[in-house]
Structures are given as structure tokens and as C-alpha cells.
Homo-oligomer: A and B are copies of this chain.
């Protein structure tokens, strides 16, 4: 008998799961129905800031696979504008609202994949619904913002929130020639880094001409004739023809939770390593789940396309009869703000403290190539080690071209619970166009090891 697989959500996680399952099981064995509430599937949400900024000129470039590919080549029943509004675990069926036809119907399933993504934080602020206030959560948001830029030619913009999306959007708007201000409630932008490293980002932003207001909470928006005119904090009103909200996201788990699928303390859906929820035959993947942080040993919810793809693939392999597991994360992330590259992995100082570690830390400054080699750029690396054992708990990089991707080496070192002392012996690549003779990662490890040693003598 043909098994019925229903997938809720047509982006990275859902479509990876569906594709992998199809790869291993033909249409006679597995019928796949995928519901997407929007009009786009399988697109790069991470690419939206670059579409807005103009580095990516065609929205089609952000679409990994068109709906026809899923329908024709992968024999899926993919339904757009179709929102799943209820999951009934007893009936093993989902209720679907067809936004085009206006109808509502039940679709039965044997196996279910919940890949409902994340919802943006949208505090209920006065004026937040005014015209000219944008989120950049999905591709339609990006397209709408792009049209606003092209049609209305705004001159001033306020970005609210200094995380990855906020900063990437600030860059995009600078590129578009707008006068940009950034408002962030935190002490420094990019609060996924420690403040000492985040301060470097704030400096970089100011260098780009961005007005940066830190430690100020957004309280609302002024409007005139229904359009936004300013973003207001307790201290000031910052004039804005355009506002972009980048206040982070949380797992979109309400649908699953309402159905009785267990959700964790992060509000993400709980799964095991194979991405099975607590309910037989129900899987979850992507921004809507919580995962396991291999350093803090705690659940975390991290919205990131790369995790979504891996988790979706894990689900699909398992549904397809294979074995796959998602091992957890070490919190690696990377971003670029104009010529500045930013990356992190493992725990920050604050996260390490929260997880019960005492830390030893060191920040070093070096260059991406041999100092004498053309194109050598600045790189600062912060390493955070466990004070007692010297184990690398986390690392952060701020620098220019060629700096940030070095985080991968550090991520693998964190993954393997290396000590900073042991890292000093690593056989990393050296040639003048790629590194000083002591790679910055090795210098940082050496300095961190010396710091651990110093502190142990004090004890």
C-alpha cells in the first residue's frame, strides 16, 4: 500500500526532507503532499539582504528549485498558498486552508514532517503597522521592500535590531545610498558575539556612515498619513522614510504544540537525533525545532539554513528507510557587513558562564596573509577556553576579506573538545598568500594557552 507523507512547509527543511525521501522511495511506495502557505518554495532566505542590497540582481537566483522541479521531476504534490492550520494526531490528518480557492479541507497522512520555520519577533509597538515598516522574514517581504526602494526612493532608513539580519540589511540599505541608522537595545551590535568583539562591529558600522544607537530600546514609530516618519526610543526620535525590523525569530511551533507535539524550553519542537518528535510517525526539522548544543549540553533554537537543510535531509533519509542522525550544533555562524567579516563558534563568554564554565580568554590581532603579501587584511580572533582544563569553548572572529571562514577550523576544534594547548600543534596550511607563518588561529591558540597557564599558576 502506498504510504502517505505530508510535509508542512516548503522551504529548506521541508523540501530537503521530501526530496531525500523521494530519492529513496518511488511514487508508488510513497505519496508526498507538501503544503506551503506562501508562493515560494526552496529559496535562500539568507540571500534576501543581498537581493535588497543589489549584489543579487534577480530574485530567481535565490530559488534553489522551482515548484515544477518538485512536481515533475520528483513527483510531489506541492500545493502553494496552502496553509496547514491544524494537525489532528488522532485522525492522522491536517486541516489545510487554501488561500487561493478560499476552501478548507483535511488531508490524511501516515507520516508527517513539520517544517514550519520561524516567526519574527514583532513586539506590539505603536505605529508598527504603518506603511514603510518592513520585516524581512520571507521572500515576499524582500520583494516588497525592494519595490518600495525602487518606487518610493526613501532617503533615510532605520534598522531595528543589530543581529545578523539587521546588520546585513543595514549594509544593503547603505549600498542603496540611504542614510541608515541602527537601533539596538544591547550594549553592542551582534550580540551573538561578546561585547568586546561586537564593539569592533559598531566601529565598522560607524565607518560605513551608519548612525549607531546602542542600549536604546525601540518604543514605537511616528507616522503621518499612515506612513512611518520616525523610529522612537526613550531618548530620541530617529527620522525614517523606511524602517526594517530585525529583532530575531523564534521557532514557529504553535501549530505543533496545539496538536500535542511536545515543545521544549526554547519553544522549539523537541526531536531526537533522527529528528523524530515524541509522536510516532511525526518528524520535525528546521527553524521550528530545538537542537542540542554540544558545548553547553543544553537545548538551543538556532534559525539557520544550513541546519535546516541537514535536519531536513536527516528526516528524508530516515523516512526513506535509511539511517541518518543530526548530531547537534556548536553554534557556528558567519556574516559579512560591507568589507567586514564576522564569525563565531562555540560559546561566548556570557554563554560559557551561563553553562557553568570558568573561562580564560585572549584576543589576538594578526593578518589574513603574510604581512608583506598584497591583500593582507586585519583579523582579530578571540578564544575562550575553560580555565581549568584549557578546553576550547568558543571563538569569535572579526576581520576583513579572508578572515571569517577560518571559523570552520575552530568549529571542528570545538567539536573535538581540543585544548588550546593541543591546538598550537595543529598542522594548518601556510603559504604567504594565505597566512602569516604562524596562522592567526595558531597565534590565538598559543596566547590562550599561555593565559590558561598563567591563571593556573595563580590558583
Contact = CB atoms under 8 A, between A and B. Distances in A.
A306 B437 contact: yes
Interface of A: 12, 44, 46-47, 50, 55-56, 61-62, 64, 164, 304-307, 309-310, 325-327, 329-336, 341, 343, 345, 370-374, 402, 404-409, 411-413, 415-416, 422, 424-435, 437-439, 441
Contacts of A44: 370, 372, 432, 437
A61 B372 contact: yes
26 contacts: A44-B372, A46-B437, A47-B372, A47-B373, A55-B373, A55-B374, A61-B372, A306-B430, A307-B427, A330-B427, A332-B429, A334-B430, A335-B431, A336-B434, A402-B402, A404-B434, A405-B405, A405-B406, A407-B429, A408-B428, A409-B411, A409-B412, A411-B427, A411-B428, A412-B426, A415-B427
A345 B429 CA distance: 8
A435 B374 CA distance: 24
Count identical subunits in the complex. Answer: 2
Given A334-B431, A405-B435, A412-B412, 20 more contacts: A44-B437, A46-B430, A46-B431, A46-B432, A47-B432, A55-B373, A55-B374, A61-B371, A62-B372, A305-B437, A325-B425, A333-B431, A341-B434, A345-B427, A402-B405, A405-B406, A407-B429, A408-B429, A411-B428, A412-B416
B309 A437 contact: yes
Contacts of A427: 307, 329-332, 345, 411, 415
Nearest to A375: B55
Closest 8 CB pairs of A and B: A61-B372, A334-B429, A306-B430, A408-B409, A327-B425, A336-B433, A412-B412, A332-B427
A438 B372 contact: no
A197 to B, nearest CB: 15
A424 B332 CA distance: 15
A403 to B, nearest CB: 10
Contacts of A413: 412
Contacts of A433: 50, 336
A114 B354 CA distance: 49
Nearest to A304: B430
Contacts of A307: 427
A309 B443 CA distance: 12
A426 B425 CA distance: 22
A10 B106 CA distance: 80
Nearest to A402: B405
Contacts of A345: 427, 429
Contact of A432 (B50, B329, B408, B424): B50
Contact of A405 (B309, B325, B331, B434): B434
A336, A372, A404, A406 — most chain B CB neighbours (10 Å): A372
Contact of A429 (B405, B439, B441): B405
Nearest to A412: B412
A16 to B, nearest CB: 10
Nearest to A344: B429
Nearest to A326: B425
Contacts of A437: 12, 44, 46, 64, 305-306, 309
